[in-house]
Amino acid sequence: MSNNQNYAPGHCVHFIQARKALEESTKWRRATVIEIGQGVITLQLQGGEVIFKCNDTTRLRDLFDTGRVPLNSEGQSHAILAPHNVLIIPCADEGKIFPQQAPINPPVNYLEDGAALWSPTTDGAWHLFSIARQDKP
């Protein structure tokens, strides 16, 4: 396991950030991923479109390409803006449907080189991405 990970917002999710983001579900905000660029994503929030830095856009794009991210009531892919600079993307397991009342398991985060990537739930997982709001040019 490497200790060289960068846990600044927009880079990697630290397991403590992941745990806190998953625990604080009352502070979650609905979001829609509008565009996934190279190192940035555009989210539709209640106040409009916002651009965020995200160094893990390849994994995010791959996740959306599976077609297993559930749709919200408007038919758009569901995303959650959580506290601690964490974007949560629910994704069903292959051949399954993401459950309506998916349990949240904050202490269980699957790591890669020390970075929290996802937390399991019934028939799917909460996938975790670190984001940082970009200032307008």
- Domain ranges across the chain: 15-133
Average pLDDT, the chain: 92
Whether residue 47 has pLDDT greater than 80: yes
The pLDDT of residue 136: 60
pTM: predicted TM-score of the whole model, two decimal places? 0.93
pLDDT tens digits for range 85-117: 999 999 999 999 999 889 998 888 898 888 999
Name the pairing type of β-strands 124-130 and 115-121: antiparallel
Is 89 strand, coil or helix?
A: strand
Give the residue among 101, 81, 103, 78 at the shortest CA–CA distance from 91.
Answer: 78
pLDDT grade, residue 35 (50/70/90)?
Answer: very high
